[in-house]
Amino acid sequence: MTKTPNLALRSWVRAVGDHTQPDAVHWWTGTDQERTQVATAMAKSLRAEPAEVDIERAPVIVSTHRRVDAGPTNIWMSRDDAQTACRRRC
């Protein structure tokens, strides 16, 4: 879990991982090879077909202090709402 030098981000990812207990944590870098590997892994787990995986068109939810920081193409959610939603689904 050392793909970013941002200590606060690493700490947050670790805390969420401790709460959700995932099988693995993957730091997305966005390469074509990585996209293929993720699509293949999803298909093998019977959750999706490789042709159906379209990362670029998936909605992106951004949780920041200010709505404007999410940018024009993302969906903004307050930090409190994001944490509540995450805890409810886990």
- Taking only the tens place, the pLDDT of each residue in 30-78 is 788 988 887 888 777 765 455 555 656 667 788 888 888 888 888 899 8
DSSP notation for 27-56 = -----HHHHHHHHHHHHHTTS--GGG--GG
Going by C-alpha positions, the residue among 31, 44, 32 that lies closest to residue 3 is 31
Phi/psi at 71 (nearest 5 deg)? Answer: 90, 165
Close Cβ partners of 61 (under 8 Å, ≥ 6 residues apart): 74, 75, 76, 77, 82
Q: Is the pTM for the entire model greater than 0.75?
A: no
State mean pLDDT over 19-39.
84
Token duo for residue 88: 């409810």
